Amino acid sequence: MAIISDDNQLGLGIKNKNPIIKAETIEYDNTFENSIRPKDFDSYIGQSALKETLKITLEAAKKRGKPLDHLLFYGPPGLGKTTIAGVIASQMGVEIRITSAPALERPRDIIGILMSLKGGEILFIDEIHRLNKVAEEILYPAMEDFTLDMTTGKSQTAKTLRIPLPKFTLIGATTKAGELSSPLRDRFGIIHRLEFYTIEELAQVVKRTAKILELEITEEGAEAIARRSRGTPRIANRLVKRVSDFAIVKYDGIIDKKVANESLDILKIDEFGLDTTDRALLNLIINKYDGGPVGIETIAAALSEDVRTIEDVCEPYLLQAGLLQRTPRGRKVSPEGYRHLGISMPSAQTKLFEDYL
């Protein structure tokens, strides 16, 4: 399976102005993320419920000789939405085209990609919640009837041209399923949420990556990295590389528990996997807003971060780890969040928090 990509998520730093041409001409298969991406269900660790349903769906589609239903994957970034799409493509023996909604700015961007698809191929659209209205309207008949409805002429003389498209499968990925319009959401046959990974699963990801990169790592070293990876394999893989730099330069090259923990301490990633921004966020709410509630815009402005980064990158894990709480009036630091930072929670605050719960 060749991954033909036109976005820069694979770490290439290319901002593509013309996704159609780039999608046709560039094959990216040698980046770090790609080189360690699993290509089949056996080497894809975690998300076991998703894997089990997908295996059945794929087998049924193969037996029927029909393309797969359109699929929507949602969940926080880094949990393997692109990766599982790649696994599906390789298991079906078809090509995958990878793009993202912000690259489909003009109608001709999406039309060009749809018209260049071949039967059975997979079109992967990342950040699909950011698709504009025009692109969405083009996708509806494409998804439903495999046609492109083009209007020519103006008002009274306008004619609709129906151009048949090959049968393809759309895989959409989003961090914000709630922001998808319902007509678009309803056109996906399968909608699945990706879950954060357990420490054990992340330790397996770490060991697998270390093996591919020919790094020496102990069980305890892998677990130490896993513990600080915020339930996210993309972070685990990034930390393997960072820690291996330390192991080579400052130690004897072997990643054991001590090397992993000392390196991650230097990188200011704490035992919960929180980095300086996460801790700054919790500290800000505690010190400036008495623990909250405080609005997301205020938090973002005070940290000089954009709201999207806070919402998509920092918050999901802080919420899942129970350090932060989302309330109708804004964000609040939980008693666990206070404890994690070693700050005692004012007792009135504890009471209010418990009342709220």
- Residues noted as catalytic: 81-82, 126, 175, 234
DSSP assignment letter at 267: T
Is residue 335 close enough to count as binding ligand ADE by CB under 6 A? no
Nearer to ligand ADE, 45 or 173 (CB): 45
Among 5, 16, 82, 83, binds ligand ADE (CB under 6 A): 83
In 3D space, the residue among 224, 192, 226 whose CA is nearest the CA of residue 80 turns out to be 192
Contact status, residue 317 vs residue 230, Cβ threshold 8 Å: yes
Through-space distance between the first and last CA atoms of the chain, rounded to whole angstroms: 49
What is the per-residue binding string for ligand ADE in 22-41, x denoting contact by CB under 6 A? --------------x-x---
Minimum separation from the CB atom of position 239 to ligand ADE (A):
12
Q: In angstroms, what is the minimal distance from the CB of 52 to ligand ADE?
A: 14
Site map (CB under 6 A) of ligand ADE, residues 198-227, x = contact:
-------x--x-------------------
Segment contacting ligand ADE by CB under 6 A, of 42-50, 134-142, 182-190, 275-283: 42-50
Shortest distance (Å) from residue 221 CB to ligand ADE: 17
By CB under 6 A, tell whether 45 contacts ligand ADE.
Answer: yes
- Looking only at the bridges linking them, the beta strands covering 324-327 and 330-333 are antiparallel
Q: Are 310 and 318 in contact (CB under 8 A)?
A: no
Measured between alpha carbons, how far is 277 from 283 in angstroms, rounded to an integer?
10
- Candidate residues 41, 44, 73, 168; the one interacting with ligand ADE per rule CB under 6 A: 44
> 19, 80, 172, 335: which one contacts ligand ADE (CB under 6 A)?
80
Rounded to whole angstroms, how far apart are CA atoms 353 and 291? 10
User: How many amino acids of this chain bind ligand ADE (CB under 6 A)?
Assistant: 11
Q: Which of 252, 227, 250, 249 is nearest to 239 (CA)?
A: 227
Interface residues for ligand ADE in 110-149 (CB under 6 A)? none
Instruction: Give the residue among 219, 278, 272, 215 at the shortest CA–CA distance from 242.
Output: 215
Of 38 and 273, CB closest to ligand ADE: 38
What CA–CA distance (Å, rounded) separates 80 from 18? Answer: 26
Please confirm whether the linkage preceding 19 is cis (ω < 30° from 0).
Answer: no
**Residue 46 near ligand ADE by CB under 6 A:** yes
DSSP string across 101-157: GGG--SHHHHHHHHHH--TT-EEEEETGGG--HHHHHHHHHHHHHSEEEEEES-GGG
Contact between 75 and ligand ADE by CB under 6 A: the answer reads no
As measured in angstroms, the least distance from the Cβ of 202 to ligand ADE is 9
CB nearer ligand ADE, residue 71 or residue 323: 71
The DSSP element (H or E) to which 201 belongs, if any, is helix 199-212
Least separation in angstroms between CB 131 and ligand ADE? 25
- Binds ligand ADE (CB under 6 A): choice among 86, 233, 292, 337: 233
What does the alpha-carbon distance between residue 98 and residue 125 come to, in Å, rounded to a whole number? 6
Shortest approach of ligand ADE to residue 74 CB, angstroms? 16
* Main-chain phi, psi angles of 82, to 5 degrees: -65, -40
Closest CA to 286 of 327, 335, 240: 335
Q: Is 73 in the site for ligand ADE (CB under 6 A)?
A: no
> What is the nearest approach in angstroms of ligand ADE to the Cβ of residue 189?
23
Specify the residue, 207 or 332, whose C-beta has the smaller distance to ligand ADE: 207
Give the footprint of ligand ADE on this chain (CB under 6 A).
Answer: 36, 38, 44-46, 80, 83, 205, 208, 233, 237
